[in-house]
Chain A
Amino acid sequence: MGLKEKILTKSLWVFHLSVGSCNNCDIEILDCLTPRFDIERLGMQLIGSVRHADVILVTGALNKKSTPILKNIYAQAPKPCFVVAIGTCPCSRHMFKDSYNTISALDEVMPVDLYIPGCPPKPEAIIAGLAKLIKKVTRK
Chain B
Amino acid sequence: MSERRVIPIGPYHPLQEEPEFFKLIVEGERVVDLEIEIGYNHRGIEKLAEAKHWDQVPFAVERICGICSTSHPFAYCLAVEDLLGITVPERAHYIRMIIDELQRLHSHLLWLGLAGHFIGYNTIWMWAWKAREPVLDLFELITGNRQHYAMMKIGGVRRDIKDENYPAIKKMVKELYPTLKMFAKAVNDDPIIQKRTKDVGILSKEQAISFGVLGPIARASGWDIDVRRDDSYALYDTVKWSVIVQKEGDIYAKILVRVLEMFESCSIIEQCLNKIPKGDIETEVRDIPAGEGIGRVEAPRGECFHYIRSDGTNRPIRHKIRAPSLMNVPSNLVTVPGYTISDAAITLAAVDPCYCCTERSAAFLKTGKKILTGEELVKLSQEKTEQLKKEYDKK
Is B17 located at the chain interface by the 8 A CB criterion?
yes
Say yes or no: A63 contacts B361, CB within 8 Å: no
Say yes or no: B373 contacts A95, CB within 8 Å: no
Contacts of A47 in B (CB 8 A): 359
Say yes or no: A76 contacts B43, CB within 8 Å: no
- Specify which of A22, A46, A69, A96 lies most central, judged by the most chain B CB atoms within 10 Å of its CB: A22
Task: Report the separation of the CA atoms of residues A71 and B245 in the bound assembly, to the nearest whole angstrom.
Answer: 45
User: Which listed residue (A18, A73, A122) contacts B361, Cβ 8 A?
Assistant: A73
In the complex, chain B residues 88-130 whose Cβ is within 8 Å of any chain A Cβ? 110, 113, 125-126, 129-130
Nearest chain B CB to A119's CB is how many angstroms away? 6
Nearest chain B CB to A140's CB is how many angstroms away? 29
Say yes or no: B375 contacts A48, CB within 8 Å: yes
Contacts of A94 in B (CB 8 A): 63
Q: How large is the interface on B (under 10, 10 to 19, 20 to 34, 35 or more residues)?
A: 35 or more
Say yes or no: A120 contacts B66, CB within 8 Å: yes
A sample of 15 cross-chain residue pairs with beta-carbon separation below 8 angstroms, ordered by A number, consists of A17-B12, A20-B43, A21-B66, A23-B67, A26-B355, A34-B133, A35-B130, A46-B358, A48-B358, A49-B361, A49-B375, A66-B11, A69-B11, A99-B47, A99-B48
Say yes or no: B40 contacts A27, CB within 8 Å: no
Task: Report the separation of the CA atoms of residues A36 and B360 in the bound assembly, to the nearest whole angstrom.
Answer: 25
Nearest chain A CB to B383's CB is how many angstroms away? 15
- Specify which of B17, B40, B44, B60 lies most central, judged by the most chain A CB atoms within 10 Å of its CB: B40
Contacts of A122 in B (CB 8 A): 146
Say yes or no: A34 contacts B359, CB within 8 Å: no
Say yes or no: B359 contacts A100, CB within 8 Å: no
Contacts of A11 in B (CB 8 A): none
Task: Report the separation of the CA atoms of residues A30 and B12 in the bound assembly, to the nearest whole angstrom.
Answer: 15
Is A115 located at the chain interface by the 8 A CB criterion?
no
Smallest Cβ-Cβ distance to B60: which chain A residue? A95
Is A98 located at the chain interface by the 8 A CB criterion?
yes
Say yes or no: A27 contacts B147, CB within 8 Å: yes
In the complex, chain B residues 356-373 whose Cβ is within 8 Å of any chain A Cβ? 358-361, 363, 373
Say yes or no: A23 contacts B359, CB within 8 Å: no
Contacts of A21 in B (CB 8 A): 14, 41, 66
* Given A22-B65, A23-B66, A101-B44: A35 touches B126 (CB 8 Å cut-off): yes
Q: 4 shortest A-B CB distances, which residue pairs?
A: A24-B66, A48-B375, A34-B129, A23-B66
User: Which listed residue (B12, B130, B354) contacts A23, Cβ 8 A?
Assistant: B354
Task: Report the separation of the CA atoms of residues A16 and B113 in the bound assembly, to the nearest whole angstrom.
Answer: 19
Is B297 located at the chain interface by the 8 A CB criterion?
no
Is B70 located at the chain interface by the 8 A CB criterion?
no
Smallest Cβ-Cβ distance to B357: which chain A residue? A48
User: Which listed residue (B63, B69, B110, B129) contacts A35, Cβ 8 A?
Assistant: B129
Task: Report the separation of the CA atoms of residues A102 and B146 in the bound assembly, to the nearest whole angstrom.
Answer: 26
Smallest Cβ-Cβ distance to A120: which chain B residue? B147
User: Which listed residue (A24, A69, A100, A101) contacts B12, Cβ 8 A?
Assistant: A69
Contacts of B125 in A (CB 8 A): 34
Contacts of B14 in A (CB 8 A): 18, 21, 23, 26
Contacts of B113 in A (CB 8 A): 34
Contacts of A20 in B (CB 8 A): 19, 40-43
Nearest chain A CB to B124's CB is how many angstroms away? 12
Is A107 located at the chain interface by the 8 A CB criterion?
no
Is A132 located at the chain interface by the 8 A CB criterion?
no
Contacts of B129 in A (CB 8 A): 30-31, 34-36
Task: Report the separation of the CA atoms of residues A31 and B378 in the bound assembly, to the nearest whole angstrom.
Answer: 19
Say yes or no: A99 contacts B44, CB within 8 Å: yes
Nearest chain A CB to B39's CB is how many angstroms away? 5
Is B347 located at the chain interface by the 8 A CB criterion?
no
* Given A35-B130, A76-B361: A27 touches B148 (CB 8 Å cut-off): no
Per-position binary interface string of chain A over residues 60-87, scored 1 when its CB falls under 8 Å from any chain B CB and 0 otherwise: 1101011001001100100000000000
Say yes or no: B44 contacts A34, CB within 8 Å: no
Contacts of A24 in B (CB 8 A): 66-67, 69, 147-148
Say yes or no: A34 contacts B16, CB within 8 Å: no
Say yes or no: A65 contacts B42, CB within 8 Å: yes
- Specify which of B51, B354, B374 lies most central, judged by the most chain A CB atoms within 10 Å of its CB: B354
